[in-house]
Amino acid sequence: MAASSIPLGKGVKRKRHEDDGGQAAAEYTPQTFHCGTLLDISLLKLHQNCVLAERNLHRSVLIANTLRRLQAEIRWENGRNTMPSEMPLQPPEQLTSGANQLEPLSKMGEEITDLNNNIAKAPPPSLIEAPFCLLSGNDSSLSSAISTILQDLDYVEDLSTPLGQAPPEDDHLLPLKPVSPDPRPEPRSLDSIFTAFEIADSDDFLIDGSLDAIFEDIDTSMYDVPQAFPAGACPTIQPNKASRGIHSAKPHNSRTDFELENLMDLLVG
């Protein structure tokens, strides 16, 4: 137990934003930075609580409520910030923004960062947006994360409720690769997470049969398993939920035409 107080926010590494030369940092309100730190801490705590042998429902509920509050605050901040700013080509919730700034401790944060890394071919737009405005696009995933953790608590604690699930307690935040369920979340390399997303979602582009031929030699079998899910969806062990996650990350939510064209250029030419 820490004997002395830890200064607020100083324990978290902040990455200097490469494209902007550090100007962006000054734009972030302390409040939103605070949000981000707290979000990471809370998610980590919630996960830790789940894998601990002694599961403390009281603690989990308090942390979950704090997370919901943070989520609401971020949503509100996001709504407030996107209104005055000029709209770039990308939709506001897809901006790279400060997701790169912080090194998130949670899996969820990493997925989002990587997703943004991929998109950021174009110079980043105005960085007045809150660091975690991207989370608003994955709002539902955060909610479903909290819900899933609470639900699994229910399963473990009270077998009388017919949930029909069979989750091990320590698999809440599984790594993206379904093949190696790790009890602890490992930091995933940016490339591997990004790759998983890209290929998994590339199926959506294959509407035209003529394009199939291009991808014939690419082995996507690993990523076609139902448990593979795109970045942003809550990683759960239930296949039905995971597939729902896939569907929820349809192009119209996470991609714009500009990005599609960009990707197509990459893949085809």
Partner 1 sequence: MEEEIDTRKINNSFLRDHNYATEADIISTVEFNNTGELLATGDKGGRVVIFQREQESKNQSHRRGEYNVYSTFQSHEPEFDYLKSLEIEEKINKIRWLPQQNAAYFLLSTNDKTVKLWKISERDKRPEGYNLKDEDGRIKDPSTITTLRVPVLRPMDLMVEASPRRVFANAHTYHINSISVNSDYETYMSADDLRINLWHLEITNRSFNIVDIKPANMEELTEVITAAEFHPHQCNMFVYSSSKGTIRLCDMRASALCDKHSKLFEEPEDPSNRSFFSEIISSISDVKFSHSGRYMMTRDYLTVKVWDLNMENRPIETYQVHEYLRSKLCSLYENDCIFDKFECVWNGSDSVIMTGSYNNFFRMFDRNTKRDVTLEASRENSKPRAILKPRKVCMGGKRKKDEISVDSLDFSKKILHTAWHPSENIIAVAATNNLYIFQDKVN
* Among 6-14, 94-102, 124-132, 199-207, the segment contacting partner 1 (CB under 8 A): 6-14
Interaction pattern, residues 48-77, with partner 1; x per rule: CB under 8 A: -----xxxxxxx-xx-xxx--xx--x----
166 contacts partner 1 (rule: CB under 8 A) = no
Nearest distance, CB of residue 66 and partner 1, angstroms: 6
Q: What CA–CA distance (Å, rounded) separates 172 from 152?
A: 9
Q: Long-range contacts of range 17-20, CB-CB < 8 Å, 24 or more positions apart?
A: 17/98, 17/100, 17/101, 17/124, 17/127, 18/100, 19/120, 19/123, 19/124, 20/124, 20/127
* Among 159-167, 201-209, 219-227, 240-248, the segment contacting partner 1 (CB under 8 A): 159-167
Nearest distance, CB of residue 100 and partner 1, angstroms: 23
Nearest distance, CB of residue 101 and partner 1, angstroms: 18
The pair phi, psi for residue 222, each rounded to 5°, is: -60, -35
Q: Which is nearest to 249 in space by CA: 183, 190, 188, 202? A: 202
| Helices (runs of H) and strands (runs of E) counted in the chain | 11, 0
| Residue 123 structure tokens | 């110079």
* Size of site (CB under 8 A) for partner 1: 42
| Residue 159 structure tokens | 């077998």
Binding site for partner 1 (CB under 8 A): 1-9, 11, 34, 38, 41, 45, 53-59, 61-62, 64-66, 69-70, 73, 146-147, 150-151, 153-154, 156-161, 169
